[in-house]
Amino acid sequence: MATGIWLLLIGLFLLRRIMKRDFNWRDMPFVGTFPVLFYKMRRIHDACVEVLETFHGTYLLNGPWFANLDILVTADPANVHFVMSENFANFPKGDEFRKIFDVLGDGIFNSDGEMWRRQRKQARALIAHDRFRKFLVETNRRKMAEGLIPVIERAAADGTVLDLQDIFQRFTFDTTCIFITGFDPGCLTLDLPEVPFSSAMDDAEEAIFMRHVLPEFVWKIERFLGIGHEEKLRRARATLDAAVQGYIDMKRDEISRKVSGETPAVDLLTAYIDEGESITNERDDKFLRDSILNLMIAGRDTTSSALTWFTWLVSTHPEVRRKIRGELNSLPPAEQTDDGWRYFTAEELSSLVYLHASLCESLRLYPPVPFQHKSPAKAVVLPSGHTAHPKTKVLFSVYAMGRMDYVWGKDSKEYKPERWIINSGERGTIKYEPSYKFMAFNAGPRTCLGREVAFTQLKSLAAAIVYNYDVATVEGHDVTPNVSVILYMKHGFKVKLSKRWRTAS
């Protein structure tokens, strides 16, 4: 009876707040700020900007008293540096993180300690190898020629609407799969086939996000009953597992049939298997599965997200587009393809300061991973003065950090590549920003190993699109961030493309 009265009072309290349009970030009896969090969920990223601007960069979200769901949200670079570097050992991924991201198994994103160090060392050695770098460049160029160009050329010629976010996802899924497994799934073709693996990734990422904001007992009940996001995650995991195991089986078969003296494949899966042992000192398919899935998500999602937001920003900022094209035009003349396309090599693009600055500025405003969370092993006081306990989630809003005036200046919400350039020469040089302030590639010992690989791919596609095409967002199209662990456009990126010139007939 008493519980019913309390629930009625809470319900009336919330209704009164909503009707008064006073539903703001304040504690409420019994349920803390939990209802406010859900009320603002559809625009959670911008809501974080608003609350962190109000509370000087850090705010404690009190969860329901029975749920152990207190979340310390911060965009303070000092807090980030303290957690990710100075107190790194006290903020492991831990059991809570592994429960939320259990679909990733024991891969590099979930692991701690010696397991993490050995995986990171192994991945670094493979990615840094010259043969892999060449393989990366050749794969990008081939996929552009055989996949991207035909799709975009047809859309431009026909004047049809194209979801450029979907195209970028298909491109990076195909190339990432080739880098990691050596096999091309063929997602970017003229018929744009259904991609169950890619859809499963999207469903898994949405479910993982909901696990961050729901009490554990709620999403475990969903999992037990087979409903909601947990049921979508179960189906997604089955799809991911089957696909990855298929690649492992094909690779083992390919290796077994390899002729003695034949040049070995360059992909990461071949390298892992050819070493003859995994991190656990045995040829373990589970280790291979976890490694592949972690790397697939890192390569496919982050790069396609970055390309999507960059292309939109440049298309809506004509002056930025003009400067990028001017920089590209300054390169020595190169032979174009028969259809009028001009490719740009990694060597050519490596010297372009304004293109690099434009990408960094896009990543600042629209980081592919918009938030991260950590929990301390032992209670600790952060530089902001807030205490984090082992039951507290310390959540970095990377999206909000890029929009904090006290971090980036009064123009923090503007797209200004010039903020990244030091004018010390004819073209200037790129201004260094510490990773705890610019977290697009993580920070501290867990800084992304694939940063240079990502920039190589981003620059090649960004330059090709900006130089060869005009991109116009379809009138009335809603460009809104989604609610997931990867920052995509909620409704896709619907555009019309027009080629900047026509070849002579």
Determine the Cα–Cα distance for residues 194 and 283; give it in Å rounded to an integer: 33
Are 70 and 63 spatial neighbours (Cβ–Cβ below 8 Å)? Answer: yes
The answer to whether residue 12 sits within a structural domain is no
12-33 residue pLDDT tens: 444 444 444 444 545 554 444 5
pLDDT given for residue 9 in this prediction: 45
Determine the Cα–Cα distance for residues 454 and 502; give it in Å rounded to an integer: 31
pLDDT band of 381, cuts 50, 70, 90: very high
Non-local (6+) Cβ contacts of 236 within 8 A are 103, 199, 200, 201, 203, 204, 207
CA dihedral (465, 467, 468, 472) positive or negative: positive
pLDDT given for residue 114 in this prediction: 87
Determine the Cα–Cα distance for residues 190 and 115; give it in Å rounded to an integer: 42
pLDDT given for residue 277 in this prediction: 44
pLDDT given for residue 23 in this prediction: 46
Q: Of 158-162, 202-206, 304-308, which gets the smallest average pLDDT?
A: 202-206
pLDDT band of 3, cuts 50, 70, 90: very low
Task: For residues 310-325, give the mean pLDDT.
Answer: 97
Residues pairing with 380 in the sheet: 388
The answer to whether residue 63 sits within a structural domain is no
Are 33 and 67 spatial neighbours (Cβ–Cβ below 8 Å)? Answer: no
* Token representation of residue 214: 């729901």
- What is the H or E stretch that residue 494 is in? strand 494-499
The answer to whether residue 429 sits within a structural domain is yes
pLDDT surpasses 80 at 303: yes
Are 201 and 302 spatial neighbours (Cβ–Cβ below 8 Å)? Answer: no
pLDDT band of 473, cuts 50, 70, 90: very high
The model's pTM: 0.88
pLDDT given for residue 260 in this prediction: 63
Determine the Cα–Cα distance for residues 499 and 441; give it in Å rounded to an integer: 33
Determine the Cα–Cα distance for residues 99 and 112; give it in Å rounded to an integer: 14
What Cα–Cα distance (Å) separates residue 76 from each residue in 384, 406, 408, 434, 439?
8, 9, 11, 13, 12
Determine the Cα–Cα distance for residues 4 and 18; give it in Å rounded to an integer: 21
Task: For residues 148-169, give the mean pLDDT.
Answer: 94
pLDDT surpasses 70 at 214: yes
Determine the Cα–Cα distance for residues 83 and 71; give it in Å rounded to an integer: 15
> Into how many domains does the chain fold?
1
The answer to whether residue 340 sits within a structural domain is yes
Task: For residues 293-302, give the mean pLDDT.
Answer: 86
What Cα–Cα distance (Å) separates residue 314 from each residue in 80, 322, 324?
29, 9, 9
CATH of the domain at 287: 1.10.630.10
CA angle 415/416/419 to nearest 5° reads 135
How deeply is 255 buried, as exposed, middle or buried, from its count of CB atoms within 10 A (0-12, 13-18, 19+)?
middle
Mean predicted lDDT score pLDDT of the chain: 85
pLDDT band of 1, cuts 50, 70, 90: very low
First and final CA of the chain: distance in angstroms?
83
pLDDT surpasses 70 at 409: yes
Are 347 and 460 spatial neighbours (Cβ–Cβ below 8 Å)? Answer: no
Determine the Cα–Cα distance for residues 305 and 169; give it in Å rounded to an integer: 8
Are 210 and 309 spatial neighbours (Cβ–Cβ below 8 Å)? Answer: no
Residue for token digits 């494949």? 265
pLDDT surpasses 60 at 10: no
Task: For residues 380-408, give the mean pLDDT.
Answer: 95
Residue for token digits 């807030």? 386
Length of the chain: 505
Q: How many CB atoms lie within 10 A of CB 305?
A: 27
Task: For residues 429-433, give the mean pLDDT.
Answer: 93
Identify how many contiguous H helices and E strands the chain contains and give both numbers.
20, 11
* Token representation of residue 110: 């979930």
- Classified as helix, coil or strand, 259 is coil
DSSP one-letter code for 50: H
Non-local (6+) Cβ contacts of 449 within 8 A are 120, 123, 124, 127
478-494 residue pLDDT tens: 999 998 889 999 999 99
Determine the Cα–Cα distance for residues 493 and 315; give it in Å rounded to an integer: 12
Q: Of 45-54, 90-99, 123-132, 182-191, which gets the smallest average pLDDT?
A: 123-132
pLDDT surpasses 70 at 504: no
pLDDT band of 299, cuts 50, 70, 90: confident
Maximum mean pLDDT: which of 264-268, 347-351, 415-419: 415-419
pLDDT band of 450, cuts 50, 70, 90: confident
The answer to whether residue 217 sits within a structural domain is yes
pLDDT surpasses 70 at 338: no
CA dihedral (89, 90, 95, 96) positive or negative: negative
Q: What's the longest Cα–Cα distance across the chain?
A: 83
The answer to whether residue 418 sits within a structural domain is yes
Q: Of 88-102, 116-130, 250-264, 470-484, which gets the smallest average pLDDT?
A: 250-264
The answer to whether residue 469 sits within a structural domain is yes
239-249 residue pLDDT tens: 999 999 999 99
Long-range contacts of 279-288, Cβ-Cβ distance < 8 Å, separation of 24 or more: 279/115, 279/118, 279/119, 279/122, 285/245, 285/248, 286/105, 286/106, 287/106, 288/248
Residues pairing with 60 in the sheet: 72
Task: From 264, 259, 20, select the one nearest 131 (Cα to Cα).
Answer: 264
pLDDT given for residue 36 in this prediction: 59
Q: What are phi and psi of 108, to 5 degrees?
A: -65, -30
Domain that holds residue 282: 68-499
* 448 annotated as a binding-site residue: yes
pLDDT given for residue 502 in this prediction: 63
* Token representation of residue 493: 């990126």
CA atoms within 13 A on the CB side of 251: 28
The answer to whether residue 95 sits within a structural domain is yes
CA angle 64/70/75 to nearest 5° reads 140
Determine the Cα–Cα distance for residues 175 and 172; give it in Å rounded to an integer: 5
Residue for token digits 């291979």? 288
Task: From 400, 423, 499, select the one nearest 75 (Cα to Cα).
Answer: 400
